[in-house]
Structure 1
Amino acid sequence: MTRTNLNRSSKLLALVACTLLLSAFAAPAAAVSVAEEDAPAEGEVGEQVSATVTLDELYKNPQWNTWSVTGQTNLTDVTWTVTYYDQTGSKVGSDEFDGQNFSGATVSSDDGVSEVDVKVTGTVPEVTEYQYEEEQSFLLMGLSQSRNGGASNAIQSWETHHYTTESADARAAIENAEAAIESAGGADTQQAEQSLTQAIRAFDGDNPDFDLATELANEAEQQAGSAQQSSQTMQMAMYAVGGLVALLVVAGGFFWYRSNQTTYDKLG
């Protein structure tokens, strides 16, 4: 290869490397900025909850002067409230929508809108399938921006853990059993671990038995405690035997020493 070709190849490689480096550090353009959010981390099935998100930087990335907010949720009996504010923080309008999906909340710089609050209120849905290893969650709120031409950008989504009183009690019992087994240390916890496995099996699935899961988990916790106590009793017994043996050795040595130090008067 000639020197000219080598130079061209080197420049090409350098250009490719520079491009890759810049693309690795370049931050993706956000559709809209989320200034504040107030969303519950969890909710009980059947409970009514609310979440509110404040949007700003409304006309950057992309530079759309007019667009619409769209929303989705897995809550039931849903009401959406979209409130618009100007640069002074004064309310300039609001819209309300019903249903798990809404669209048509128009954001426009011509109306002086610089900030938008989106609030969703509804009922926490049922859990379709339980898994102990992974807490169940549902879509609390998902927001996007869309334009009449069909273009759209996802803004952000929020997930929330949902549960029932029975599932929460069963989960807590299983967690306690796991902690008891772990704290049992070197004790024989095989029986407790078997009960724990059965408790988790009773918890999992689309038709769980939380009463059975709680009962088995409580048994596992008790079994782990008994195993730990038995192990400690055995250790104490071994220490006691070791102490007794040591005492006998010392006593035997003492008597041997005394017997060898005793002198007898053969003449009486």
Structure 2
Amino acid sequence: MTRTNLNRSSKLAALVASVFVLLSAVATPVAAVSVAEENVPSEAEVGEQVSATVTLDELYQNPQWNTWSVAGQTNLTDVTWTVTYYDQTGSKVGSDEFDGQNFTGASVNSDDGISEVDVKVTGTVPDVTEFDYEDEQQFLLMGLSQTRDGGASNPINTWNAHHYTAESAEAREAIANAENAISEAGGADTQQAEQSLTQAIRAFNGENPDFDLATELATEAENQAGSAQQSSQTMQMAMYAVGGLVALLAIVGGVFWYRSNQTTYDKLG
């Protein structure tokens, strides 16, 4: 290879490396404030009052803002936010309270010695607008972002939770039990059980679900699957018994044939 070709190869390699670095920089998101701890429920019943708390640290690194504000949003109702500030020793240096599903203005300033921030939201779990068995209903429990005067903003994190009613939870459990029963009855004729299960899920879904009907149909599907499995096992045992009987008859017939031949042989002798 000539020197010219070597130079071209080196330049091409350098160009490719530069493009790769550039693309990597674009693809890698800029880290925001870190979430050090979180105490957030994963599910809650409609109408129940719940609380969620997260602790933020590494407050001034990415981006390097010495002054900024915490902003939050939630789908809880009757909401109260409590923002508490701590220094490097863990001592409380201040707190703020806000009402409503959205808040801004919880100021974080390095000059105040703030090293950690606790954000707590308390409120009532909202109603479910539409139920779907395959996709558990979620609501925004807490969403936090880092904001600055002038409009600059960085998302910190969001936390969603599953919300349900006592009736929907009972129906969901019944449907899950029916699914397990059908799965365990593998090899049996579960067509009738599967039809009942489909109807149960259909009764569960939508804006106007009938959870009593869904529970009833799911229980029926579970029983049908159990009966199908039992019938299949009974049939299998019967087939084993018939097979054993055939084998026994074959053995008895063989012995009889053998003895008959022996008797005939003795008479001839």
Q: Scaled by the length of structure 1, what TM-score is found?
A: 0.93
Q: CA deviation at 1:6?
A: 7.4
State the match for 1:75 in structure 2. Answer: 76
> What one-letter code is carried by the residue in structure 2 that aligns with 1:174?
I
Distance 2:157 2:28 in 1: 16
Deviations 1:121-169 (A, max 9, x none): 0001111111111111110000011111111111111011111111111
Residue in 2 aligned with 1:20? 20
Q: What are the within-5 Å matches in structure 2 for residues 51-130 of structure 1?
A: 51-130=52-131
Q: Render the CA deviation track for 1:64-111: whole Å, top value 9, x for unaligned.
A: 111111000000000000011111111111100000000111111121
Which residue number corresponds to residue 193 of structure 1?
194
Distance 1:71 1:262 in 2: 101
Q: Aligned partner of 1:239: which letter?
A: Y
SS at match of 2:141: strand
Letter in 2 for 1:139: L
Which residue of structure 1 lines up, in the alignment, with residue 7 of structure 2? 7
Match of 1:45 in 2: 46
Farther-moved stretch of structure 1 (109-118 vs 27-36): 27-36
| 3-state SS of 1:144 partner | strand
Give, as a single letter, the amino acid of the residue that structure 1 aligns with 2:51: S
Q: Name the residue aligned to 1:141.
A: 142
**CA-CA distance at 1:254 after TM superposition:** 1.4
State the aligned residue count. Answer: 265
* Offset of residue 265 of structure 1: 6.8
**CA separation of 1:200 and 1:265: change in aligned 2, threshold 3 A:** closer
- Paired with 2:18 and 2:199, the residues of 1 have a C-alpha distance of 56
2:210 aligned partner? 209
CA 1:251–1:88 in structure 2 vs 1: closer, same or farther (change >3 Å)?
same
Match for residue 151 of structure 1? Answer: 152
Residue type matched to 2:165 in 1? T
**1:164 maps onto 2:165 in alignment:** yes
Give the CA RMSD over aligned residues: 2.0
SS at match of 2:195: helix
For the pair 1:229 / 2:222, whether they are aligned, the reply is no
How far apart are residue 4 of structure 1 and its match? 4.2
Q: Which deviates more from structure 2 when the two are superposed, residues 43-52 or residues 236-245?
A: 236-245
Distance 1:101 1:90, change over 3 A: same
Deviates more, 1:238-247 or 1:25-34: 25-34
Identity %: 81
Q: Which one is further off, 167-176 or 19-28? A: 19-28
Q: Secondary structure at the match of 2:47?
A: coil
After TM superposition, give the deviation of residue 5 of structure 1 in Å: 7.6
SS at match of 2:176: helix
Distance of 1:137 and 1:10 partners within structure 2:
54
Distance 1:265 1:91 in 2: 114
Q: Once the 2 structures are TM-superposed, how far is the Cα of residue 19 of structure 1 from its aligned partner?
A: 3.7
Gaps of 5+ in 1: none
Deviation at 1:17, TM superposition (A): 3.2
Which residue of structure 2 aligns with residue 176 of structure 1?
Answer: 177
Q: Distance in 2 between matches of 1:230 and 1:108?
A: 72
Structure 2 distance, partners of 1:62, 1:251, is: 90
The residue matched to 1:262 in structure 2 has which SS?
A: helix
Greater alpha carbon shift after TM alignment, 12-21 vs 101-110: 12-21
When normalised by structure 2's length, the TM-score is 0.92
**What residue number does 1:252 align with?**
253
Does the C-alpha gap of structure 1 residues 242 and 265 become closer, same or farther in structure 2, counting only changes over 3 Å? closer
